[in-house]
Amino acid sequence: MKTFKILIFLLGASGASGQVAIGKSSVTSPSVSMEFGDANKGIILPWVTSTGAVTGAVNGTIAYDLSDHKVKVKYASGWKDLSVDTTGTTVDPVTGIDGISMQDPFTEQPGAKVTVGDPGPDPGILVLEATNKAMILPKVSSPHLNIINPAPGMMVYDTTAKQLAVFNGKMWSFWKP
């Protein structure tokens, strides 16, 4: 809970500069809105009941879909699956393993939002508003080997293979440009 409060404070304080460094003292470039330190950790995407039920999602929105246990990104034509797993069910983040819930017991706040940059109308939990800055994902060497207990919906940049890696609760999927 303490870590959550610190994160909220840091994200809230970021409105002044429009840049946030998490797990490090500063960002590496003026073109960065958010950057993470080097550790065997990733970001966990928001869990939604179904991406089809998400209203107002803008292009580029990324979420973990609980209905089919997949990481998805929103495009103009619809939601694209980034998990590419057709082998079956993943670990359910609601019921967890052996019925132990992986979600916290707190009530969801549907209007909760943190904005980095000038606040705009786009919905989301964490919205990076800059038009000239990008987020740098957490960097992990071979995440499938080095992240011991990844959570469903985790995303990192694999520094060994130089590609995006997403975890759907069962397996890692890798994306290269």
pLDDT digits (tens, 9 = 90+) for 97-150: 444 444 555 555 566 656 776 677 666 667 767 777 787 888 999 999 999 888
3-state helix, strand, coil in the chain (%, to 5): 10, 30, 60
pLDDT at 162: 93
Task: Tell me how far the alpha carbon of residue 41 is from its chain's centroid.
Answer: 12
3-state DSSP call for residue 23?
coil
pLDDT at 15: 44
pLDDT at 107: 57
pLDDT at 160: 94
pLDDT at 38: 77
pLDDT at 16: 47
Q: How many domains does one find in the chain?
A: 1
Q: Is the pLDDT score of 7 beyond 60?
A: no
Task: Look up residue 81 and give its two tokens.
Answer: 């699956």
Domain containing 46: what range? 2-175
pLDDT at 14: 44
Phi and psi for 79 in degrees, rounded to 5?
A: -95, 130
pLDDT digits (tens, 9 = 90+) for 37-89: 878 888 888 888 899 888 888 888 888 888 888 888 888 888 988 887 555 44
Q: Is the pLDDT score of 158 beyond 90?
A: yes
The H or E element containing residue 163 is: strand 163-167
